[in-house]
Structure 1
Amino acid sequence: MISVVFPVYNEKENLPAFITELLRVMQDMGGDFELIGVDDASEDGSFELLRAMAEDTPRLKVIAFRHNFGQTAALAAGIAAARGDIVVTIDSDLENDPADIPQLVALLEKGYHAVSGWRQKRWDDKPFTRKIPSRVANFLISKIGGLALHDYGCTLKAYRRERIAAIPLYGEMHRFIPAYIYWRGGKVAELPVRYRPRLHGASKYGISRMYRVILDLLLIKFLTRYMNRPIHFFGGIGLLALIVGTAAGIWSLALKIFSDISLVRTPLPVLAALFLIVGVQLMVMGVLAEVMMRTYYESQKKTPYDIQEKINL
């Protein structure tokens, strides 16, 4: 069986066409399948529409959150409910093309444990504000994570269920599932897929989340070597303090070298030391808070989401 999981947040206008396309593709593939939509507390009637569609489509399962918990939590809930040997994740805004799913599944059947989509011709109309920053982010993530992928942010991915069943997902960690599988000895492939500009609504994700994504990746590397969101707060402030401290230190040295101003006559060295110490402390606090949060969830078998209703599950 193939389980297709898709998060939903204010996609009422896109859902009818998306579900229709998805059903057609899965039926053409043959074999058993299920569709699992996870509504992340939409405010535009998306859940009501999904409920109505599920009444006429038994293969469509629906999970509704009580509050907005984010894309990672939505995918985690869908993956936890999936019964298939293969799990496919896809966005419900029609930017991902369901017609690419058979190619991803075909690669899994060749022995890969995860296949990640690589969106083609994306942000060609916004080279400086979106395309270049996106490439820089993917380059940094590839270097830190050790798995070179062109498009970590693409939701269209396919996995062997046994490889993702035990992966804990918090924060923005859903995009790092292929890296996590790779670190555990799995085989990961990347496949070029179509990218389609959305017809309705606006993108819910911006470049502003880049720093949180990189911090999450650093956290996973730390946890997997010996183990959600606190790092986003402490880490963000800590990084800012480190940057300010470094800048103050460079400035004070420049004043000494080029202007022959004694370091004891300027507060910059003290400020540099202060901000550097505070920055390191905040980063350490962020990691410790993250470990405590992970212990809280896993020792008590809690989840980072709260389900209000299930349909056909």
Structure 2
Amino acid sequence: MKQVPPPPEKVEISLIIPVYNEEESLSRLFAAIEAVSPDIPPMEAIFINDGSTDSSLAILKAQAEKDSRFKVISFVTNTGQTAAIQAGIDFASGDILVFLDSDLQNDPADIPKLLNKLAEGYDVVSGWRKDRKDNAIKRNLPSRIANSIISRVSGVHLHDYGCTLKAYRKNVIKPVRLYGEMHRFIPIYAKWQGAKVAEIPVTHHARQFGSSKYGLERIFKVILDILVVKFLSRYLTKPIYVFGGFGLLTFFISFCSLIWALCLKWFAQTSLIQTPLPLFSGFCFLLGCISILMGLLAEVVSRTYFESKRQDAYYIREMINLKDPRHTPR
């Protein structure tokens, strides 16, 4: 009698790992994942090759051929970490999603700790690089400033939003659509949907290969991104509160400027055309308002486009050991 092979184990954990030019790190990362796999439920590891220009894709393909648990999505061009994470979410089979960096600074050995905390009834468990092994000025200082700003504005208090190592229940993250550089705010989106969020310290290793893609400019990006998050969370369905608020503020400043100019004319005998200060301040203020409002409008328009068209923010060249759930035959 022909022996029927046993059915494959149901995937419970999906590791989502963006990759961009990490050829030197990948073999060690594969070994670390394989070492921890006996300690966690059945898993798959989805690597998203984000337009790497080195041999990362070839290394990923070779690993996927050896072990079907390792799966590859390769983008046509570099699209960014947020789009890579969104692709991983879209194609993940597990009920629990774990995000992981590919540069060996996150330790896969911490995954069981995240899962144990998740089992306590939490929906999101975020890693905290308590003893961070990065440059104090270029990486740690901007990170602390950014984390403080995000926590204060969002009301979700985490020590380390920038740590990629996080675990999520799929049902709290699946409805979230990510654009731009919004991957660091996923715990905020989940919290706003009623998810229970926890944070635990995780191991952080010094970078062994390559160089970081982030620097001091990250603070300014975070400030702009958190403005968008705040706007989308509170004013997406009632934008008149934002635009009307700015309009009323503009009217108030215009009124005060007019009173000030008249006071200068009446009490200091200064003609309205003798000083450019009112015109200059008014021009700068209006220009700033227009810039911010145009930015917010652009965010709304882009989301409307993607959602109405069901258009993803990434383009896939090929997939290995994966099927597209959006095009399954009837």
> Above 0.5 in TM-score?
yes
- Following superposition, the deviation at residue 124 of structure 1 comes to 6.5
Q: Is the 8 Å Cα contact of residues 95 and 169 (structure 2) preserved in structure 1?
A: yes
2:184 is the counterpart of 1:191? no
Q: TM-score, normalised by structure 2?
A: 0.81
TM-fit CA distance, 1:27: 2.4
Point out where structure 2 has 5 or more consecutive residues left out of the alignment: 1-11, 237-256, 258-263, 323-330
Mapped contact 1:142–1:148 kept (Cα < 8 A): yes
1:145 deviation in Å? 0.8
Equivalent residue for 2:241? none
**Is the alpha carbon distance of 1:110 and 1:132 closer, same or farther for their aligned partners in structure 2, counting shifts above 3 Å?**
same
2:133 and 2:206 in contact (8 A); partners too? no
Write the letter of the residue equivalent to 1:168.
R
Pair 1:299-2:329 in alignment: no
Relative distance call for 1:124 and 1:60 in structure 2 (3 A) is closer
Match of 1:132 among 118, 129, 141: 141
> Structure 1 residue 28: deviation in Å?
2.7
Aligned counterparts of 2:274 and 2:107: Cα–Cα separation in 1: 63
Residue pair 2:21, 2:52 contacting (<8 A) in 1 also: yes
TM alignment of 1:82-97, pairs within 5 A: 82-97=92-107
CA distance in 1: counterparts of 2:301 and 2:321, whole angstroms:
35
Give, in whole Å, the separation in 2 of the partners of 1:132 and 1:45: 33
Note if 1:34 corresponds to 2:44: yes
Give 3-state SS (helix, strand or coil) of 1:36's partner.
strand
In structure 2, the residue matched to 1:225 is 234
Distance 1:290 1:132 in 2: 29
1:122-271 to 2 correspondences below 5 Å: 122=132, 126=136, 128-227=137-236, 265-271=274-280
Matched with 2:88 is 78
1:198 to 1:130, Cα distance in 2 relative to 1, 3 A: closer
1:261 deviation in Å?
12
Say whether residues 1:13 and 2:24 are aligned partners.
yes
SS where residue 217 of structure 2 aligns?
A: helix
Gaps of 5+ in 1: 228-248, 250-255
- Whole-angstrom distance in 1 between the partners of 2:207 and 2:165: 15
Q: Deviations over 1:197-255 (max 9, x none)?
A: 1111111122213222222222122212254xxxxxxxxxxxxxxxxxxxxx9xxxxxx
Aligned-partner Cα distance in 2 for 1:216–1:134: 14
Amino acid paired to 1:114: V
Q: Is the 8 A contact 1:33 1:59 kept in 2?
A: yes
Aligned to 2:325: none
Q: 1:147, 1:182 within 8 Å by CA — same for their partners in 2?
A: yes
Question: Does structure 2 conserve the Cα–Cα contact (< 8 Å) formed by 1:173 and 1:213?
Answer: no
Contact 2:133/2:204 (8 A) holds in 1: no
Tell me how far 1:125 sits from its aligned partner: 5.0
Count of residues in Structure 1 that have an aligned counterpart in Structure 2: 283
Q: Identify if the C-alpha distance between structure 1 residues 124 and 12 changes in structure 2 by more than 3 Å, giving closer, same or farther.
A: closer
* Residue 264 (structure 1) shift: 5.5
Amino acid at match of 2:312: T
Distance 2:110 2:86 in 1: 22
Identity of aligned residues (%): 51
Match of 2:33 in 1: 22
Q: What's 2:248 paired with?
A: none
Match of 2:75 among 65, 74, 86: 65
Q: Which amino acid aligns with 1:47?
A: L
Structure ID, larger Rg: 2
Cα distance between partner residues in 2 of 1:91 and 1:226: 33
Relative to structure 1, is the Cα distance of residues 279 and 36 closer, same or farther in structure 2, using a 3 angstrom cutoff?
A: same
Counterpart residue type for residue 221 of structure 1: K
Deviation of 1:120 (Å): 2.2
- Paired AA for residue 122 in structure 1: R
Task: Give 2:100's aligned amino acid.
Answer: I
- Tell whether the 8 Å contact from 1:72 to 1:174 is kept in structure 2 after alignment: yes
1:204–1:129 CA distance, 2 compared to 1 (3 A) = closer
